[in-house]
């Protein structure tokens, strides 16, 4: 059996000199305002995985008011989500991720980000695809007030045989 899930996340830019994307630190003129490390790609991915597994969302499992997750490395949270999904009998078939941002541009980091995500998921690199687009200057994202990410995930049931 296969199950599909989608995820979306957005974070506002704030003070700082880098953003976390797929577990990598990318130098930027701003950071993001967030309780954890504000990694929009991983947050969208986790929500998509939880959605596909019928296991709620990251706000339920990692409440933003919970001090345990203050400044959390989202790769640790992702590994926990992988365990939750596995406990329900599923593994990741593939994920397709889209970053929506005017800045920073990630073309030169794309392969490294995919490698980082695949490592955190403990899957082959070929199961992770990352796309990037801009908002064409439209709206808050277009004014470079923040960054957003979308994720689509397909989970595959692990054979119990
Ligand atoms: Mg988030």
CA distance 58 to 9: 11
pLDDT at residue 77, as a whole number:
97
Collect residues with CB below 5 Å from ion ligand 1. 9, 43
| Mean pLDDT of all residues belonging to the chain | 96
| Residue 55 φ/ψ, nearest 5 degrees | -115, 30
Tokens of 26: 């990318």
pLDDT digits (tens, 9 = 90+) for 9-19: 999 999 999 99
CA of 137 to the centre of ligand 1 (A): 22
Question: Please, what are the domains in the chain?
Answer: 2-157 (3.30.1330.50)
Rounded to two decimals, the pTM is 0.97
123: helix, coil or strand? Answer: coil
CA of 8 to the centre of ligand 1 (A): 9
Q: Is residue 45 a contact partner of residue 140, using CB atoms and an 8 Å limit?
A: no
Task: Tally the C-alpha atoms within 13 A of residue 127's C-alpha that lie toward its C-beta.
Answer: 18
Residue whose structure tokens are 């695949």 = 118
**Is residue 161 scored above 70 in pLDDT?**
no
Q: For 26-46, what is the mean pLDDT?
A: 96
Banded pLDDT at 160 (limits 50, 70, 90) = low
CA of 147 to the centre of ligand 1 (A): 10
Q: Is residue 113 a contact partner of residue 21, using CB atoms and an 8 Å limit?
A: yes
pLDDT digits (tens, 9 = 90+) for 50-105: 999 999 999 999 998 899 888 899 999 999 999 999 999 999 999 999 999 999 99
- E strands, 44-145, are 90-100, 128-133
Tokens of 33: 């305002």
CA distance 152 to 161: 28
């Amino acid at each position: 059996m296969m199950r599909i899930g989608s995820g979306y996340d957005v974070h506002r830019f704030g003070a700082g000199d880098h953003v976390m994307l797929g577990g990598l630190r990318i130098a930027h003129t701003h950071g993001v305002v967030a309780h954890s490390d504000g990694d929009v790609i991983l947050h969208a991915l986790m929500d998509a995985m939880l959605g596909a597994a019928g296991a709620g969302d990251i706000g339920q499992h990692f409440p933003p008011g919970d001090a345990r997750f203050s400044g959390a490395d989202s790769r640790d949270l992702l590994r926990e989500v992988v365990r939750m999904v596995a406990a329900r009998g599923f593994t990741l078939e593939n994920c397709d991720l889209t970053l929506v941002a005017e800045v920073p541009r990630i073309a030169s980091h794309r392969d490294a980000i995919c490698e980082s995500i695949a490592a955190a998921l403990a899957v082959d690199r070929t199961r992770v695809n990352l796309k990037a687009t801009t908002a064409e200057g439209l709206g808050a994202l277009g004014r470079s007030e923040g960054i957003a990410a979308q994720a689509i995930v397909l989970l595959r049931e692990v054979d119990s045989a």
